[in-house]
Structure 1
Amino acid sequence: MATPPQGRKSSERTRIRIQRVLADAGVASRRASEALVEEGAVTVNGKIVDGLPCFVDPEEDDIRVSGRRVEKRRRNHYIMLFKPRGFVCTSSDPQGRKLALDLVQHPSGSRLFSVGRLDLESSGLLLLTDDGDLANRLTHPSFGVHKGYDVTVRGRLDEETLDKVRRGLYLVDRRTGEATRTAESDLVILKRDRERTRLYVALREGRNRQIRRVMDQVGHSVRKLRRVQMGPLKLKGLAVGEWRELTPGELGSLRRAAKDSTPTTSTGPKAKTKQLTGKKKYGRRTRR
């Protein structure tokens, strides 16, 4: 078999597999991109790619599919926002409620979207990005990326009820009307007295208002709910309403978690959540 054409000489760091370039550019999934190569539809600098692996530099090489040039890979953005209560996670709202996306005025002007959602009355870690592939992996149950929540409920939660919630309860899908059991979850009591119980909840699925509906079902309605973790990513370095870019280390660990179908290990908060006071000024950017 002929040697697949390689891109122009560049550093090993910038040369990546061609199927990843095509997937990042939105041409096709990686598997479908491999099929395009097998069909002879892909060229690099005028030469047909007739086999894999083929490594290219998307910034330097002329890559085409069926004669149409593949645009250079754009840089994706990954934002951690400390969502306040009273904001919705949709891109628009017919009721005119405040949008969490409006808190992030990113200099790139990129069209960001939230990875999963937090309801109107919930606060905490909200990941915003324009990377659809990573977002899908972080939210699809098959990848088992857990989301951790600091939750306060009414009343004293006993061990029997706690075990019932851990094992899963039946919730009705509001679209289909079908009741299905929730997946097993991790729960850790942080503090409890006669009037309230504070606990850490780790979920590996994301049904609509799942924690609130489950707690209502066992007679302990939610008083406060804050997301503090998504896989290895923890809410830190931000006040309510602030946002920042993920660090390279955070992004790397998040990508590794999203590639592995083995459920991520959940770890609860190591310290009490800081109570913030004073006038609320949302939308400020911070740097790490």
Structure 2
Amino acid sequence: MGIDPQPGWISGGDKPKEPRFNDPKRGKRLQTVMADAGVASRRACEALIEEGVVEVNGVTVRTLPVFVDPAQDRILVNGEPIRREALVYVMLWKPKGVVSTNADPAGRPRAIDLVGHPTGVRLFPVGRLDADSTGMLLLTNDGELAHRLAHPRFEVHKTYEVVLDGDLDDSALRKLEQGLHLADRDRPGRRTEPIRLQLISRERRTTKVLMELHEGRNRQIRRMLLLVGHKVRKLHRVQVGPVKMTGLKSGSWRELAPEELEALQNASAKSPGERKGRQARVGKVRPLDARDSSTQKASAKRKSTNANRPIDPDRLTPAQKKAEEARARFAKTGRVPKPRRDANGPR
């Protein structure tokens, strides 16, 4: 009686059976090697494998996981060998109105269109930064590092400078720090992970804060602030893990310095089970309790005064009126409003 074909390859009749490809000791995941070579994104490469258009050492593979040694194994996609390209790591200051996805049906400007790397390699954004947001966006063809930096399991934090409408009081700050319940489209709603906050300034009509989080849920910061009654005016990413955005202006890019790349690799190197605690932060995020006493007293005075003062709709700004309406709808229905859409696609 013959032996059944092993998972991950197709038998060739009575030919000798090939060794298993699903042994992690063989090397890296096939879809990661393909993504690093610029074939497509990691998920698209997984689809190509399952379609049966990928061969490893002459054997068609269809079932994941598949592990390969890029230096030893011959990998073909649609009969063509994949290229072994040098790994490239780029930092971009993404301007407003530019999307971070490589495929946009609406035809808006893409982040990759701003990077003309001399090698011509196909780059992919690390995570997402919505079109209305600006700041630091990493791009690379290193699929493994991109996965580790973007996936919340590895707890690589991202830091944002946020300007919002109105006076964000201490009660709202505490709620944001502790986490809020957000609904998701494709899964049951759940509470956000605790975040770190630093109050930068409070003006008459706006508040500026520094927010640090390691999740990447859809429009998370905007939705969280809307739940506490504030609309975001400006959202600007300033740091990923231990690396800050420096030496750039809007729309420009540069390659990561060796020490920056090493810092990102170290920050995402350990598996979640090996973590003994949160990674060290570069730059101090001052806790709320460390604010000077005068700021706390002024905040307490405003809070006690405003608590007993009825809201006069005629004195609210348009943005504050929208925030009050959104807060009232949420209190009544428990639903978070979906982002607006227009003829030009999602915003």
Query: TM-score, normalization: structure 2?
Result: 0.58
Structure 1 residues 268 and 216: CA distance shift in structure 2, 3 A: farther
Could you tell me which residue of structure 1 aligns to residue 220 of structure 2?
210
Instruction: Give, in angstroms, the shift of residue 233 of structure 1.
Output: 1.1
Q: Show the counterpart of 2:199.
A: 189
Amino acid at match of 2:139: L
Show structure 1 runs of 4+ deviating over 2 A: 17-27, 63-66, 70-74, 260-270
When you count strand as a share of all residues, which structure comes out higher? 1
Separation in structure 2 between the aligned mates of residue 253 and residue 229 of structure 1, nearest angstrom = 12
Does residue 19 (structure 1) correspond to residue 19 (structure 2)? The answer is: no
Residue 252 of structure 2 corresponds to residue 242 of structure 1: yes
- Partner in structure 2 of residue 158 of structure 1: 169
Distance change in 2, residues 1:103/1:269 (3 Å): farther
Name stretches of at least 5 consecutive residues in structure 1 with no aligned partner. 1-16, 28-42, 44-55, 271-288
**Cross-structure match for 1:74:** 85
Contact 1:91 1:99 in 2 (8 A): yes
Deviation of residue 119 (structure 1)? 0.7
User: Residue 127 of structure 2 aligns to which amino acid in structure 1?
Assistant: G
Give 2:220's aligned amino acid.
Q
Give the whole-Å Cα distance in 1 for the aligned partners of 2:233 and 2:82.
49
Of 138, 151, 174, which aligns to 1:127? 138
Quote the Cα distance in structure 2 between the aligned partners of 1:108 and 1:217: 45
2:127 is paired with a residue whose SS is coil
Counterpart for residue 103 of structure 2: 92
Q: Residue in 1 aligned with 2:208?
A: 198
Structure 1, residues 108-153: CA drift from partner, whole Å, max 9, x if none?
Answer: 1111110011111100000000111001101111111000001111
Report the RMSD for the aligned CA atoms in angstroms.
3.1
Given the alignment of the two structures, is residue 264 of structure 1 paired with residue 264 of structure 2, yes or no?
no
Unpaired runs of at least 5, structure 2: 1-24, 36-56, 58-68, 76-80, 286-347
Q: Secondary structure at the match of 1:259?
A: coil
Give 1 or 2 for the bigger CA radius of gyration. Answer: 2
CA drift of 1:73 comes to 5.1
Counterpart of 1:254, as a letter, is L
Is the alpha carbon distance of 1:239 and 1:21 closer, same or farther for their aligned partners in structure 2, counting shifts above 3 Å? same
For 1:14-70, what per-residue CA distance to the aligned partner results, in whole angstroms no more than 9, with x for missing partners?
A: xxx97369897459xxxxxxxxxxxxxxx9xxxxxxxxxxxx995xxxx3479xxx9
Partner in structure 2 of residue 180 of structure 1: 190
**Inter-partner Cα distance in structure 1 for 2:242 and 2:70:** 30
Q: Which has the larger share of helix?
A: 2
Please give the secondary structure, in 2, of the residue aligned with 1:200: strand
